[in-house]
Amino acid sequence: MAQLAPIAAAIGAGASIYSSVQQGQAQSANAKAQATAAREQERARVEQAALQQSAEARAREARLAGTLASTRARLAAGGISPDEGSAAALTTGLEREAAAAQADSDQIFAARLSAGRRSLLNNDGSLTSFLRAGTTFGSSLRNLLD
């Protein structure tokens, strides 16, 4: 009867290891599925942000073109050449302000993208199951030797 105890302990350890490996594989599959879903959500978020950024840029360009056309027309109606002197400085200033607004928008866009980025250090659980199986095996082996 005493000879059956080590065999039963070995069978129990084997079953425990098998269970740990199966659990680890299930956790790994879940982690992969979650990682895939997170990548898809991130891709959709980035795509949405890029579309919003381009729409805002188009609207800003349209406003600038309208403002410049209106300013040039008013200056020309007043008898001033819009390409010379203070009129040219005015139109150049409008263009410079629009470029600065675009640069600010680009910086905000980059910050929004980087804020949603997941850390490269996040684990996916693939190694955890094997470490647990090793721990279980080690404790079972220690029990057998005691």
CB 94 within 8 A of CB 65: no
Tokens of 112: 């929004």
Domain span at residue 43?
31-119
* Amino acid at residue number 93: G
In a domain, 139, yes or no: no
In a domain, 3, yes or no: no
In a domain, 41, yes or no: yes
Whether the per-residue pLDDT at 124 is higher than 60: the answer is no
pLDDT of residue 117: 53
| Total domains, the chain | 1
CB 140 within 8 A of CB 17: yes
Give the pTM. Answer: 0.49
pLDDT of residue 137: 65
